[in-house]
Amino acid sequence: MKHGTNIYKYAKRIKCEPEELIDFSSNINLYQPEIEFSLSSKEVAKNPDSKYKDFRRFLAQKYEIKKSQIALFSSATSAIYQLFSSLKRKNVFLYAPLYREYEKAALMAKKNIYKINRIEDEKQVPLDDSIVVFVNPSTPEGTYYENIKELMSTWMELNCTIILDESFLEFQELDSMRQEISNYEKLYIIQAFSKFYSCAGVRVGAIFSNKNNIRTLQPPLWHISNLDVNFLKQRLSDESFAKKSRELHKVQKEELVYILSESKLFTEIVESDSNFILAYSNKGKRIWEDLLERKIVVRKCASFDYLNNNWLSFAVKDEVAQASLKEALEKL
């Protein structure tokens, strides 16, 4: 899944090195623990188990589901494309705005695409027997929909295939719908690991669903490396990681909201349940340009349905980065 904007392009534009930019467009966890990671030459040389049984068993225990309910892919994006190519239903309802790859995957699979503006009315119902895509917490504003069970109940009554993306769920202790995959056979949950577990370079994503659906997905053999599997397993095994991440994230998110509010540049700052803040200014385009000149990159939101470039998204960052943002905003 996309983690931010192309900082290399913007570094070239303002004639600096990419490392000089402070990237508030990247929504990867700011907590980066030092871990000792090594893999023997013997491990690197051999092919992994083509079905990743041990790793799926590990994930099943962590997420309290069954190994047979997990399919692994080289990224969450890869999982999305594979899923759409496997689904026979033609009508797709995207509760937008959302991650753009869902629309691209639906188009590639030759689906009929309909969009529902969930910001105005998330209770608008799709057609019977259609495919529904919903991201919770949402992008780009990070809203967790507490009424997700109510929404799912409506979709189930309509016999819809439900694709629920929970990739940003773990930044706060929010309720997952994973347990529902045993109760509704047409539910698929997309899980990215790179976001919360702070490893954008590790290419692993998952789909959680009932075992019959998992069998039909059939990911390619050996599509995930031993390096990726072992690194991610070590990161997920760190019991202190989630606790420390959430504590740090809470403090820094509150500070970021304060910085944006005190700047007096934004007329709306959306409350977020994830690791990014969406803010609106009628001078959003100018703010983006001025921040870039000060080597700070934030995300413009015109690529999201129903938004424009006056909406800016700021990822939660560490104290040093946010202090730089505060100083820059004070000068605008």
pLDDT tier at 315 (50, 70, 90 boundaries)? very high
Which CATH number is 48-238 given? 3.40.640.10
Rounded average pLDDT over 131-157: 98
- Which region among 133-147, 156-170, 219-233 has the lowest average model confidence (pLDDT)? 219-233
Task: Establish whether the linkage from the previous residue to 140 is cis, with ω within 30° of 0.
Answer: yes
Q: Quote the pLDDT of residue 137.
A: 98
Q: What is the separation of C-alpha 246 from the centre of its chain, rounded to a whole number of angstroms? A: 16
Provide the pairing of β-strand 299-300 with 296-297. Answer: unpaired
Sheet strand arrangement including 70-73: 70-73, 205-208, 187-192, 161-165, 131-135, 91-96, 112-117
- Which region among 48-57, 239-248, 252-261, 267-276 has the lowest average model confidence (pLDDT)? 48-57
Residues of CATH 3.40.640.10 domain(s) within the chain?
Answer: 48-238
pLDDT tier at 101 (50, 70, 90 boundaries)? very high
Give yes or no for residue 116 having a pLDDT over 90.
yes
Residues of CATH 3.90.1150.10 domain(s) within the chain?
Answer: 7-27+240-330
Rounded average pLDDT over 82-97: 97
Rounded average pLDDT over 70-97: 96
pLDDT tier at 253 (50, 70, 90 boundaries)? very high
Q: Report the mean per-residue pLDDT for the chain.
A: 92
Positive or negative, the Cα torsion across 232, 237, 241, 246?
positive
Which CATH number is 7-27+240-330 given? 3.90.1150.10
